[in-house]
Amino acid sequence: MKKIMLFTLLLLFAVCFRPLFAHANENQKEDLMKIVNRFMPSNASLISPENPSSKRPIQLYDFDHDGQKEIIFTFKVKAINQPSPSQFGLIVLKKHNTDWRKILETKTDGVDLDFSGLVDITGDGTKEYLFGVTIGAAMGSNLEVFQWINNSFEKIAEVPYHKIDFVNGVQKVGLAVWQMYIGDSYLVDVLKWNGEKLVYNEELYSQYYPIIEKFYKEKISEMDAWFYWYCLADAQIKANKFDEASKSIQKGISLVKKSVMHEVIQDFNDLTKRLENKRK
């Protein structure tokens, strides 16, 4: 009986106070928008990134661990003369006493905002802010990595890419960079922060390799094209899958010989040399 009464009281509490909580959240959103609008550039509007799809144009994060979260917002300034590229930008606001101040602003010309998110790339326990703008379909995107250092932001890396993914390492998160080769085929590298810059990391690449392999196996099952075999062989060499790489190279060469693109055989020959050198 007591359990039933307790449940009833909890249910009544939830029903009665839900509007209050909803109202409080709405007020918080309104206050946040008022702050953001004060710093919004003219002719600009908020924009959400394509990736991660769950992210909204306004994010909150406590970079200096003082208990007060900073405000990060992304925006678009549409070009007046189309089809000129628009500008995509970000602003970070920090609260000083009772007022807010702008501590970071950057803008980049492009066609879309591809990425906006927080990832601990350096492994120092504080997430870096990553900002990626798409320049064009062929050119891909450009990623800027900002680190909070000595009470200010510093751009510590800039990476061109067509697709990006993340690999969980020990403390640090690695960056999987997909660069377009031909059509929907990509050459992949996995980068890790070495204390000064992002560099290729073989251990994280091997960890990430199954994702690359799965991608190309699916592509090959749909269309048995030489460029898929080329990119798969490249990945297999990097992941020390030497026997598999040799088979992929031979398969790719056989497909090229059936086509009119015989000059591509030299690219496969270069892969063979890389394979032989790494086997030594």
Q: What is the pLDDT of residues 54-90, one digit of tens each?
A: 889 999 999 999 999 999 999 999 887 766 789 999 9
Number of domains in the chain: 1
Q: What is the pLDDT of residues 13-38, one digit of tens each?
A: 455 545 544 444 556 677 899 999 99
Exposed/middle/buried for residue 39 (C-beta within 10 Å: 0-12, 13-18, 19+): middle
CATH code, domain carrying 69 = 2.40.128
- What is the amino acid identity at position 242? F
Domain for residue 211, yes or no? no
Q: Could you tell me if 127 and 118 are in contact, meaning their C-beta atoms sit under 8 angstroms apart?
A: yes
Instruction: For the sheet with 112-119, list strands across it.
Output: 112-119, 128-136, 140-149, 152-161
Whether residue 250 is contained in a domain is answered as no
Contact residues for 71 (Cβ-Cβ < 8 A; gap 6+): 32, 35, 36, 58, 59, 60, 92, 93, 100
pTM: 0.86
* Residue 217 falls inside a structural domain: no
> Is position 48 within any domain?
yes
- Segment 116-151, tens digit of pLDDT: 999 999 999 999 999 999 999 899 999 999 999 988
C-alpha 229/C-alpha 19 separation (Å) is 58
Considering the domain boundaries, does residue 133 fall inside one?
Answer: yes
Q: What is residue 27's predicted lDDT score, i.e. its pLDDT?
A: 60
Contact 130, 119 (CB under 8 A): yes
Buried b (16+ CB within 10 A) or exposed e, 251-273: bbbebbeeeeeeebeebbeebbe
The answer to whether 74 and 144 have CB atoms below 8 angstroms apart is no
CB atoms < 10 A from the CB of 143, how many?
20
Residue 96 inside a domain? The answer is yes
Q: What is the amino acid identity at position 221?
A: S
Residue-number span of the structural domain to which 53 is assigned? 39-161
Helix, strand, coil shares of the chain as percentages rounded to 5?
40, 35, 25
Q: Let me know if residue 69 belongs to a domain.
A: yes
Please check whether residue 238 lies inside any domain of the structure: no
